[in-house]
Amino acid sequence: MTKVENKTDPKSDKRKQSVYFPVDMLDEIQKEALRQDRTVSWIVQRAWKIARDEILLYPSINDPTGEELQAIMAATSEDKDKEE
């Protein structure tokens, strides 16, 4: 008897995740899923794929503010001046 390895494709990884939507948004998503004869999961996945590039343009909460960025640039400039 041979042991068969469980090979999983990362694209088919089916993990469960709870996601919370405002009631009106969930109603809209459910109506669209019904209209397209698709699952709510499919609608949300497609919405993410469509919106992903735009969402990646949003700044991270950890991104420095304009003032912080200027301070970083000034400090970097001062460090370079000291090296010369």
Distant-in-sequence, close-in-space partners of 55: CB < 8 Å, separation ≥ 6:
none
Q: State the pLDDT at residue 50.
A: 96
Q: Name the residue with tokens 């460090």.
A: 79
Per-residue pLDDT of the chain (84 residues; tens, 9 = 90+): 555 555 666 677 788 889 999 999 999 999 999 999 999 999 999 999 999 999 988 888 887 777 777 787 888 777 666 666
| pLDDT of the residue at 68 | 76
What's the pLDDT score for residue 33? Answer: 98
Residue 36's pLDDT is 97
Domain boundaries defined on the chain: 22-58
Q: Which spans in the chain are helix H? A: 23-36, 40-55, 66-83
The confidence score (pLDDT) of residue 20 equals 94
